[in-house]
């Protein structure tokens, strides 16, 4: 059961096509996993389409919708239904599977489409691994794998970060998160994410580095680019 969903504002921005590729990828991957938000997105899309159709009618007082109007509306529908079209999509014959730590993970559809853009896995610390996703935006998108019993030192965020649990679970001071949970984090969140018995695969998009806050981990701050880029 997914507990953490995108805010209404984030969902609106997504449907309107206002998010950049990286944030859009996080939201569309959440929608792959969350029927509730998928329905919400469809409702928002219908509202936006109706509003656009009303504008078109006001601008051109004709009887009903002409072919041109219909085409405009279809364009509007499809551009809002596929806000990730800013991504350069490549034909991929990949199967959306990744193998980590002897385990197999099935990527949700939106993420599987970007599989060719997922770079090599690099070890960050302990049993924590990262693979960049090259989306060509200013935001940094990474897949992060935390083995069981892994912990990230306490930190806050200099920018904002969207985190989506793809598979597994992790916890922090605010809660316990499972497949499909989407978290929005910024400078107001100080936390220590950790896994317990289960491992966790996360999609993370951030527009600024972490800032480590406690004890000796403050020494990591000069290296916080480890987590950013």
Residue 7 to residues 41, 47, 95, Cα–Cα distance (Å): 11, 17, 31
Stretch that binds Zn ion, among 32-40, 74-82, 132-140, 142-150 (CB under 5 A): 32-40
Site for Zn ion in 43-72 (CB under 5 A): none
**What is the Rg, in whole angstroms, of the alpha carbon atoms belonging to the chain?**
20
**# residues contacting Zn ion (CB under 5 A):** 3
Which lies closer to Zn ion via its Cβ, residue 31 or residue 135? 31
Q: Is 166 in the site for Zn ion (CB under 5 A)?
A: no
- Structure letter (DSSP) for residue 13: H
Q: Is there a contact between 104 and 45 (Cβ–Cβ < 8 Å)? A: no
Sign of CA dihedral 215, 220, 222, 226: negative
Closest distance to Zn ion from the beta carbon of 80 (Å): 18
Out of 34, 144, 200, 210, which residue is the one contacting Zn ion (CB under 5 A)?
Answer: 34
Order of all β-strands in the sheet with 122-125: 122-125, 128-133, 140-146, 200-206, 161-168, 182-185
Piece of 3-11, 83-91, 193-201, 210-218 that binds Zn ion (CB under 5 A): 3-11
CB of 161 to Zn ion, least distance (A): 18
Q: Does 204 sit near Zn ion (CB under 5 A)?
A: no
Measured distance CA(184)–CA(162) in Å, rounded: 5
Only segment of 37-45, 96-104, 128-136, 147-155 that touches Zn ion (CB under 5 A): 37-45
Backbone CA torsion sign across 60, 61, 62, 64: positive
The least distance separating Zn ion from the CB of residue 208, rounded to whole angstroms, comes to 25
Closer of 34 and 201 to Zn ion (Cβ): 34
Provide the angle, in degrees to the nearest 10, between the axes of the packed helices 35-59 and 8-15: 50
**Which one, 10 or 128, has the nearer CB to Zn ion?**
10
Contacting residue, 10, 15, 37, 202, with Zn ion by CB under 5 A: 37
User: Using CB under 5 A as the criterion, which residues of the chain lie in contact with Zn ion when the complex forms?
Assistant: 5, 34, 37
């Amino acid at each position: 059961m997914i507990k953490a969903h995108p805010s209404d504002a984030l969902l609106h921005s997504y449907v309107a096509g206002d998010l950049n590729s990286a944030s859009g990828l996080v939201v569309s991957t959440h929608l792959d996993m969350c029927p509730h938000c998928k329905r919400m997105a469809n409702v928002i899309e219908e509202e936006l389409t109706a509003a656009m159709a009303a504008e078109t009618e006001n601008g051109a007082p004709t009887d009903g919708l002409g072919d041109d109007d219909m085409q405009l509306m279809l364009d509007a529908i499809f551009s809002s239904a596929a806000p990730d079209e800013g991504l350069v999509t490549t034909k991929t014959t990949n199967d959306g599977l990744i193998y980590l730590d002897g385990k197999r993970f099935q990527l949700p559809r939106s993420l599987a489409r970007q599989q060719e853009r997922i770079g090599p896995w690099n070890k960050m610390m302990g049993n924590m691994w990262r693979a960049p996703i090259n989306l060509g935006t200013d935001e940094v998108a990474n897949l992060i794998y935390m083995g069981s019993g892994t912990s990230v030192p306490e930190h806050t965020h200099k920018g904002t970060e969207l985190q989506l649990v793809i598979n597994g679970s992790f916890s922090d001071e605010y809660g316990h998160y499972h497949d499909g949970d989407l978290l929005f984090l910024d400078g107001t969140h100080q936390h220590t994410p950790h896994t317990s018995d289960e491992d966790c695969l996360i999609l993370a998009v951030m527009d600024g580095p972490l800032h480590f806050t406690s004890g000796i981990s403050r020494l990591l701050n000069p290296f916080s680019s480890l987590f950013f880029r």
